[in-house]
Amino acid sequence: IIDAEVLSVSTQDYDPYGASSLVLMSDSVGAHLTKSHLCAHTYPDVLDPRGLCTFRVDIDIATCGTIVPLRALDYMFESFANDVAIIDYAVRGFTRDAEGKRVYMDHALRSIQDFIDPQVLRAYACEDMNLPDHNLWQTKLMRTELEPADYFSPGVDVEAPENRALFEALRREMVGIHQGIE
């Protein structure tokens, strides 16, 4: 996906809930010092007083060399059933050109959305918050159409008043997560 070779993998489970893993990658075997990594942290939330269960995965991709992490976004959307996704892209390092001038960005970037399949984007309301002068980009996505039956166990009457109320509470939870509000 991102043309990298895996050099090392580390995982850790947390009690009672959660896990993290780290993958050290390189764009060539001989370039161990120009390493990159993929790190995933899970945050299951089963303590909501309304009985809502949410599951958050934070995936950090740090790259050097020719590895472009934004190319992995379609794979991430295929791998996870995202109702809300918040994607940050930050350029922290620099290189120098032939004249010694610092170069922070070696590629143009208008929006993170440009790296996501348009078919995927159609399922979401999308919002960009970019600070290109600071080499920071963020895209927030929230699924626009939800099927209540997808959020309940098979055989549960999703039209029952208490389940409709739970589904509306879940929708408000998603909006709060998307907008970063309580």
Q: Domain-by-domain residue ranges, the chain?
A: 5-145, 146-182
Q: Kindly name the residue from 36, 37, 126, 178 that is annotated as catalytic.
A: 36
Distance CA 148, CA 164 (A): 8
Task: Write down the catalytic residue from 20, 21, 39, 64.
Answer: 64
Instruction: Report how far residue 66's alpha carbon sits from residue 88's, in angstroms, rounded to the nearest whole number.
Output: 19
Q: What percent of the chain has pLDDT over 70?
A: 81
CA-CA distance, 157 to 65, in Å (whole number)? 53
pLDDT at 72: 81
Mean pLDDT of all residues in 22-31: 55
Q: What is residue 165's predicted lDDT score, i.e. its pLDDT?
A: 94
Instruction: Indicate the pLDDT class of residue 24, thresholds 50, 70 and 90.
Output: low
pLDDT of residue 106: 76
Q: What is the pLDDT of residue 42?
A: 76
Three-class DSSP category at 9 = strand
Which entry of 20, 21, 39, 41 is annotated as an active-site residue?
41
Confidence of residue 156 (pLDDT cuts 50, 70, 90): very high
- Looking at the whole model, is its pTM more than 0.85? no
Mean pLDDT for the stretch of residues 133-161: 93
**Helices assigned H by DSSP within 28-160:** 73-79, 118-121
107 is catalytic: no
Residues 6+ apart with CB under 8 A from 109: 89, 132, 137
Q: How many CB atoms lie within 10 A of CB 114?
A: 13
pLDDT digits (tens, 9 = 90+) for 70-128: 888 888 888 888 899 999 888 877 888 899 998 887 778 899 999 999 999 999 999 99
pLDDT at site 33: 39
**39 belongs to the catalytic site:** no
Average pLDDT of every residue of the chain? 82
Residue 64 designated active-site = yes
- CA 133 → CA 60, 104, 127, 154, distances in Å? 22, 10, 18, 49
